[in-house]
Amino acid sequence: MPELPEVETTLRGIRPHLEGRRIARLLVRDPRLRLPIPPETPELVAGQIIGALARRSKYLLIGLERGALIVHLGMSGSLRIVAPGSPPKRHDHVDLALDDGHCLRFHDPRRFGLFLWTPESPEIAQVQHPLLRDLGPEPLGDSFDGDYLHALSRTRRVAIKSFIMDAAVVVGVGNIYANESLFLAGIHPARHCHRVGLERYRRLAATIRAVLRASIEQGGTTLRDFVNEDGQPGYFAQSLRVYGHAGEPCGICGEPLRVKRIGQRSSFFCPRCQH
Domain identity same for 152 and 227: yes
Q: Is residue 121 part of a domain?
A: yes
Average pLDDT estimate for 127-141: 96
- Are residues 8 and 96 both part of a single domain? yes
pLDDT value, residue 228: 36
CA distances from 83 to 26, 120, 226 (A): 15, 30, 11
> Which residue is catalytic, options 15, 55, 58, 80?
58
* Mean confidence (pLDDT) of the chain: 91
Instruction: Please classify residue 194 by burial: count the beta carbons closer than 10 Å to its beta carbon, then call 0-12 exposed, 13-18 middle and 19+ buried.
Output: middle
Does 140 map to a domain?
A: no
Comparing 4-13, 151-160, 257-266, the range with the smallest average pLDDT is 4-13
14/88 same-domain check: yes
**Same domain as 173, residue 259:** yes
Look at residue 239 and tell me whether its pLDDT is greater than 80: no
**Nearest CA among 269, 57, 262 for reference residue 160:** 262
* CA separation for the pair 266, 142 (Å, rounded): 30
Last residue of a domain, one of 128, 157, 186: 128
* Annotation says 3 is catalytic: yes
**pLDDT for the residue 240:** 86
- Res 230 pLDDT > 70: no
31 is catalytic: no
In a domain? residue 165: yes
The answer to whether residues 246 and 203 belong to one domain is yes
19-36 pLDDT tens trace? 999 999 999 999 999 999
User: Residues 182, 98: one domain?
Assistant: no
The reply to whether 58 belongs to the active site is: yes
Query: Binding site for DNA, residues?
Result: 91, 110, 156
The answer as to whether 139 is a domain residue is no
232 shares a domain with 205: yes
Among candidate residues 98, 128, 158, the one where a domain is terminated: 128
- In this structure, is residue 206 part of a structural domain? yes
The verdict on 114 and 8 lying in the same domain is yes
The one catalytic residue among 21, 34, 202, 265: 265
**Do 177 and 224 reside in the same domain of the chain?**
yes
262: containing domain: 146-269
Q: Using pLDDT thresholds of 50, 70 and 90, give the confidence band for residue 234.
A: very low
pLDDT for res 207:
97
The pLDDT-based confidence of 241 (bands split at 50, 70, 90) is: very high
User: Does residue 83 share a domain with residue 34?
Assistant: yes
Q: State the alpha helices, DSSP H only, in the chain.
A: 4-18, 41-45, 122-128, 146-153, 160-164, 175-185, 198-219
What CATH number does the domain containing 13 carry? 3.20.190.10
Q: Could you tell me if residue 244 is inside a domain?
A: yes
